[in-house]
Amino acid sequence: MQLIWSFIIAGLFCLLGQIILDNTKLTPGHVTSLFTVLGAILAFFGLYDKFINLAGGGASTIISNFGYLLYEGALSGYRSSGILGIFTGLLTKGGAAIVGAVIFASLVTLFFKPKD
């Protein structure tokens, strides 16, 4: 059942992104930033944890999960170290996602060439 919910949740996020791209003048970069902020807002209200429990990988592999990771990292850093912990917490949780994205993007560029 979690596989079905994973497909539905990730599909709804993709559908929302496609609707935004088709009906506005926003670029993919704008939509990516929008979904990152949306993930942080959903985490603030405690809704993103419910998405992850319901959909598993469907909610933890999309771009809104990066906003969730940033929010959770900042919150745990604040709880452990105060105001300055917000910045170190951001780097702790979000750093793995950033490094992973850079490594996989570098690997993809070895095998695929962009079209002109």
Q: How many domains does the chain have?
A: 1
pLDDT digits (tens, 9 = 90+) for 10-55: 999 999 999 999 999 999 999 999 999 999 999 999 999 998 898 8
Q: Rounded to whole angstroms, how far apart are CA atoms 95 and 62?
A: 16
- Domain limits for position 56: 2-111
- Asked if residue 50 is part of any domain, the answer here is yes
Global pTM reads 0.80
Residue 115 pLDDT exceeds 80: no
Q: Rounded to whole angstroms, how far apart are CA atoms 40 and 7?
A: 21
Cβ neighbourhood burial of 91 (10 Å; 0-12, 13-18, 19+): middle
- Asked if residue 116 is part of any domain, the answer here is no
- Asked if residue 85 is part of any domain, the answer here is yes
